[in-house]
């Protein structure tokens, strides 16, 4: 991405930081990347947006060929990430689900049906365009922000750079809406994923519970 001019610089955040990578974007903004596994485990709940960064995304690298990405992504977004965002007032700008198994026989990619030319060669790997999920631009809040606007690609420079560098199409980008409300004494959230304006999956209002 740096060689192609899509980003200015990048590097490891080092062991002293909870997050994994920093990216300097061409417009001077700084993005932070938090690496996670398949999103269905408790490790998904552990993240901290650093203060003063411009963008913060989660990158799911699920190297288990037997995993079910759709199930894991939904579990990660609704069950774990959305609850943490609301409960701990943590903003996540987006999620990318993408690794070296994507597009292989172990994990066929629907983006490649009849379009093998969409693969990008990176060293020994041939990668399809990444799966991108855009999150709300602000943290949902029952009183002040119950249904926040979802980011666009233009709002999240690191995801836009990945999308353009690896041949994504705008109709493939997912938008994650998160609404919050009070139901009795409980705070509930409703998560809805849309792609190209069409609802792909949604939930009934689900309580946020903490042990």
Q: Looking at the domain assignment, is residue 174 inside a domain?
A: yes
Q: Looking at the domain assignment, is residue 4 inside a domain?
A: no
pLDDT at 18 over 80: no
Contacts of 152 (CB under 8 A, 6+ apart): 134
**pLDDT of amino acid 41:** 86
Q: Looking at the domain assignment, is residue 178 inside a domain?
A: yes
pLDDT at 184 over 80: yes
Domain, as residue range, for 29:
9-207
- H/E element holding 74? helix 69-74
Q: Looking at the domain assignment, is residue 1 inside a domain?
A: no
Q: Are 177 and 163 in contact (CB under 8 A)?
A: no
Query: Which tokens is 206 given?
Result: 């689900």
- Cα separation, 32 vs 25, in Å, equals 11
Please state the domain count of the chain.
1
Q: Looking at the domain assignment, is residue 3 inside a domain?
A: no
- H/E element holding 58? strand 55-60
Handedness of CA 189, 193, 196, 200 (dihedral sign): negative
**pTM of the entire structure?**
0.95
**pLDDT of amino acid 16:** 65
């Amino acid at each position: 991405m740096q060689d192609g001019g899509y980003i200015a610089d990048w590097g490891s955040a080092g062991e002293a930081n909870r997050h994994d990578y920093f990216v300097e974007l061409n417009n001077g903004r700084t993005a932070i990347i938090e690496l996670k596994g398949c999103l269905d485990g408790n490790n998904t709940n552990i993240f901290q947006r650093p203060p003063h960064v411009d963008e913060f995304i989660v990158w799911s690298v699920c190297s288990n060929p037997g995993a079910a990405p759709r199930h894991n992504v939904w579990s990660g977004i609704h069950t774990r990430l959305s609850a943490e965002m609301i409960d701990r007032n943590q903003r996540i700008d987006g999620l990318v689900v993408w690794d070296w198994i994507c597009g292989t026989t172990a994990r066929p990619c629907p983006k490649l049906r009849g379009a093998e030319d969409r693969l990008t060669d990176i060293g020994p790997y041939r990668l399809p365009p990444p799966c991108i999920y855009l999150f709300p631009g602000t943290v949902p809040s029952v009183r002040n922000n119950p249904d926040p606007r979802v980011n666009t690609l233009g709002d999240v420079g690191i995801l836009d750079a990945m999308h353009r560098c690896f041949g994504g199409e705008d109709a493939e980008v997912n938008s994650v809406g998160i609404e919050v409300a009070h139901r009795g004494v409980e705070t509930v959230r409703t998560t809805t994923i849309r792609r190209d304006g069409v609802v792909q999956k949604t939930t009934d209002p689900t309580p946020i519970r903490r042990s």
